[in-house]
Amino acid sequence: MVDWSAERRSFVEDRLGGMDRPGASARLTLADLSLRPRLGVKGSGAIGWMKRQAVTVPENDNTAVAHGAAMLVARLSPSEALLLDTRGGKVMERLAASLPPHGDGGAYPVPRMDTHAWFHLGGPDAPSLFAKLCAVDLRPEKFPNLSVAQTIAAHLPVIIIRQNVQNAPHFHVLMDSASALYLWDCIVDAMTEFGGVVVAESEAKSR
């Protein structure tokens, strides 16, 4: 079971000094959301378990859907989903408490809080930045809102989820926590061309 009360540090804490407040004209922002709750559910009964918990679940693999105003549900396969707390609250904690470590009806928890870092990239220039790092075409006409890509970026396996904010492209990026610093540095380096800025979690327009 996930210990939500445990004190946690960002996987990229050493890179978070001197963050900016994005101006109205900022076309690309990067934020670390790794301290926000997230949970994986896996197993032959994963989708059924979430539906029994009244969680909104996408009908198709590699798509996502908003569950209310506080959670994003990404379906990775017929037997696996990723739940992201995009606003804060008790929904994720309640769900985690309902799923014991030994599983329930073929559904098992995956401790994404410990295994995966979570970045947020937003703004009109975000798809162009991904073109420098990732082989998947993430332009709006190729990668619609609430699409999910399980792909490679900067030679690392990543999960990328698009969630528009006021019709602007915004992306959640999750990767192995051991690779977080490397990917962060790659993104920051690639952002230079676009005048991108690193912002605090509270400044990320992720909802």
Considering only residues 140 and 20, tell me which one the structure prediction assigns the higher pLDDT: 140
| pLDDT at residue 141, rounded to an integer | 94
Strand 38-42 and strand 148-153: the pairing is unpaired
| pLDDT tens, position by position, 4-45 | 555 678 889 888 876 665 555 679 999 999 999 999 999 999
Is residue 199 scored above 80 in pLDDT? yes
Is residue 188 scored above 90 in pLDDT? yes
Q: Which range, of 4-18, 148-162, 170-184, averages the lowest pLDDT? A: 4-18
Cα distances from 205 to residues 28, 61, 132, 165, in angstroms, run 11, 25, 23, 7
| pLDDT at residue 8, rounded to an integer | 75
> What is residue 56's DSSP assignment?
-
Is residue 192 scored above 80 in pLDDT? yes
**pTM for this prediction:** 0.92
Nearest of 102, 82, 68 to residue 36 by alpha carbon: 82
Residues 98, 102, 105, 108, CA torsion sign:
positive
- 9, 113 Cβ separation under 8 angstroms: no
| pLDDT tens, position by position, 61-93 | 999 999 988 899 999 999 999 999 988 767 888
Cα end-to-end span (Å), the chain: 27
The amino acid sitting at 111 is P
Is residue 145 scored above 80 in pLDDT? yes
122, β-bridge pairs: 29, 170
Quickly state the pLDDT bin for 98 (edges 50, 70, 90).
very high
Ordered domains of the chain (ranges, CATH):
25-203 (3.30.1360.120)
| pLDDT at residue 207, rounded to an integer | 47
| pLDDT at residue 7, rounded to an integer | 66
Residue with tokens 């996502």: 64
| pLDDT at residue 154, rounded to an integer | 97
- 47, 108 Cβ separation under 8 angstroms: no
Average pLDDT, the chain: 90
Nearest of 53, 187, 57 to residue 120 by alpha carbon: 187
d(CA 138, CA 131): 8
